[in-house]
């Protein structure tokens, strides 16, 4: 079984507030759009959230995702990744996880399923578009222990050897589009 995790516990400092609740041109919130590509594509799905996140918990309830409260979210992405890895390790028969970011609203469902399928080869997977690596990323179960002790702003990019990853070329420019600022959001069509 391949699990999915979407990281949504960041503070959104560059955006100037909780960007996850920002509305896209289609009326969905950024968080809902970031999670939508994962719905129905994986065996289990979790969303890493701040521990007091009523908005995120309600979205999980509505969409059928498992909320993972990360009480140390303000200390950096490393804590969110450690939370995700611990959850994935607790799942029976979990062979890997597709790791997404909540601020990437244009990732397509077929991208998530292709990254998941590529994980069966047992190597990390980089979703790429026109040669550029983006997200989501595929992490085989053998990588989970390396994430358990992450803290601060140390992410999977720093903890894993991505030179051995399978570079999965996809026809999905959404793997490169993330929303970091209000100006990024305004540029969406």
Mean pLDDT by 10 residues, the chain (189 residues): 92 76 92 95 94 92 93 66 93 96 95 97 95 96 88 63 92 94 80
CATH code, domain carrying 128: 3.90.550.10
According to DSSP, the residues that pair with 2 across neighbouring strands are: 96
Q: How many CB atoms lie within 10 A of CB 40?
A: 12
The CA distance from 114 to 171, in Å, is 11
Task: Report pLDDT for 2.
Answer: 97
CA-wise closest residue to 141 among 84, 73, 179:
84
* The pLDDT of residue 80: 87
Residue 116: its pLDDT value, please? 98
- Confirm if 109 and 41 have CB atoms less than 8 A apart: yes
| The model's pTM | 0.92
C-alpha 67/C-alpha 29 separation (Å) is 17
Taking the C-alpha atoms of residue 60 and residue 66, their distance in angstroms, rounded to an integer, is 6
Predicted pLDDT of residue 106: 96
Domain that holds residue 103: 2-187
Work out how many domains the chain is built from and give that number.
1
> Nearest CA to 66 among 96, 45, 36?
45
């Amino acid at each position: 079984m391949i699990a999915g995790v979407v990281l949504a516990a960041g503070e959104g400092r560059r955006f100037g507030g909780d960007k996850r609740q920002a509305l896209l041109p289609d009326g969905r919130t950024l968080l809902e759009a970031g999670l939508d590509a994962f719905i129905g594509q994986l065996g289990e799905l979790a969303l890493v959230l701040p521990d007091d996140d009523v908005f995120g918990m309600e979205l999980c309830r509505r969409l059928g995702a498992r909320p993972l409260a990360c009480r140390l979210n303000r200390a950096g992405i490393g804590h969110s990744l450690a939370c995700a890895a611990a959850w994935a390790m607790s799942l029976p028969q979990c062979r890997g996880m597709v790791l997404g970011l909540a601020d990437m609203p244009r990732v397509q469902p077929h991208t998530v399923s292709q990254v998941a399928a590529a994980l069966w080869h047992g190597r990390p997977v980089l979703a790429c578009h026109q040669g550029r690596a983006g997200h989501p990323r595929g992490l085989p179960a053998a990588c989970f222990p390396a994430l358990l002790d992450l803290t601060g702003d140390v992410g999977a990019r720093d903890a894993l050897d991505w030179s051995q990853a399978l570079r999965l070329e996809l026809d999905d420019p959404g793997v490169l589009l993330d929303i970091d600022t209000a100006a990024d959001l305004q540029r969406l069509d």
